[in-house]
Amino acid sequence: MYYLNPSLVTLNRIFDQNERKDYLRLDLNENPGGLPQDFIDRVLSDVTPQFVAQYPETLHFSEVLADYLGTDISHLCLVNGSAEGIRYIMQAFTSPHGRVVGVVPSYFMFQIYSEMYDRDFVGVPYNEDLSMSVDRILEAMTPETQLLILLNPNNPMGNVYSDEEIESILAEAGKKEITVLIDEAYHYFYPKTFAKYALQGEHVFVTRTFSKLFSLAGTRLGYVLGWPEGVRMVQKLCTPHNTNAFAMKFAEAVLTTPGMVDELIAKFEEGRKYLIASLDEHGYPHKGEAGNFLFIKPFTDAKTIVDRMKAEKKILIKSYAGVGDFGTCLRVSIGEKQYMRRFTEALYELDR
């Protein structure tokens, strides 16, 4: 008998149909400038036909990464983008109709995976002022909850948890035996990390990506940090050779080139400072403390600006609904100064 997973019939996935050609994309929180061209050329200079022909070997890069993070390879699992790791954690640590708690709005894949695997996703909304209510998270952590998903820093709001807050949440999770996934996709744009909880405790995972600051979204690489037994369970779900050889080659070069990470952070900071100063000068309210993106409240209709940016300026940005007292506003990825200048010039022209 033919069978089709009924969850897939109703599942609504939106696949990005925008063509990058000629557009400046400030809608996906990538690094619009990417890594320096001479760095790319250097990394590719010793690629051989054998390198391309062989299945990727993960041991060497896992050791480089573990070394960089001050841990060992039993605590990490490489994945094809952290979106893959998040999926495996949900598959391994929740059951059909299991309760999954996460803050909303948030990275949309948490809800998509919940629907895909028939989990019951329960969203904890932000406060009116866009702060996150830890009390409300604690309340939502009922004894039947299997997985709690947090983001540090939060996408899209960009706010963060204090040590006391995260510790009270983790203590409650431990008491009720709830696995906690902390998504740190935007780590490095805001250096506070909760990785130590994944490395020292049990039933806490941290996922990270090379797509954001490390500017390798095109190669797909992320990793899951956790306690060795949990990591082994995630590993069992991985497709064979899930980690791209080029991704690991570039990532190793970024991690081991002296000053490279600092340079990426410095360029980003310069772009952020420029954008914020320019918006302040032009009287634009903005929010977003901790990610590589900013919410901007325009003077005119946000959706119209998004459409006109695309049609007239070849710049892709997003409109976002429900951003506290901003209502529907613009979300813009932050990149190097030259891209921020192009965006602000377009904004000041269109937003009249």
Ligand X SMILES: Cc1ncc(COP(=O)(O)O)c(C=O)c1O
Quote the least distance from Cβ 211 to ligand X, whole Å. 3
Which amino acid, 227? Answer: W
Quote the least distance from Cβ 80 to ligand X, whole Å. 8
Quote the least distance from Cβ 321 to ligand X, whole Å. 17
Question: What's the full length of the chain, in residues?
Answer: 352
Contact track, ligand X, 65-84, x by CB under 6 A? ----------------xxx-
DSSP 112-154: HHHHHTT-EEEEEEPPTTS---HHHHHHH--TTEEEEEEESS-
Question: Is the four-CA dihedral 153, 159, 160, 161 of positive or negative sign?
Answer: negative
CA distances from 183 to 85, 174, 187, 271 (A): 10, 18, 9, 24
Residues 150-209 that bind ligand X (CB under 6 A): 151, 155, 183, 185, 209
Locate tokens 């299997």: which residue?
Answer: 146
Instruction: Enter the tokens of residue 151.
Output: 């983001």
Quote the least distance from Cβ 223 to ligand X, whole Å. 9
Residues 73-132 that bind ligand X (CB under 6 A): 81-83, 107
# chain residues binding ligand X, by CB under 6 A: 13
By CB under 6 A, name the one of 222, 226, 230, 271 that touches ligand X. 222
Quote the least distance from Cβ 181 to ligand X, whole Å. 10
Contact track, ligand X, 29-48, x by CB under 6 A? x-------------------
Quote the least distance from Cβ 170 to ligand X, whole Å. 19
By CB under 6 A, name the one of 114, 152, 211, 319 that touches ligand X. 211
Residues 239-298 that bind ligand X (CB under 6 A): none
Closest CA to 160 of 136, 194, 209, 197: 194
| Ramachandran angles phi, psi of 332, nearest 5° | -125, 130
CA distances from 173 to 76, 169, 203 (A): 22, 6, 9
Q: Residue numbers of the site for ligand X (CB under 6 A)?
A: 29, 81-83, 107, 151, 155, 183, 185, 209, 211, 217, 222
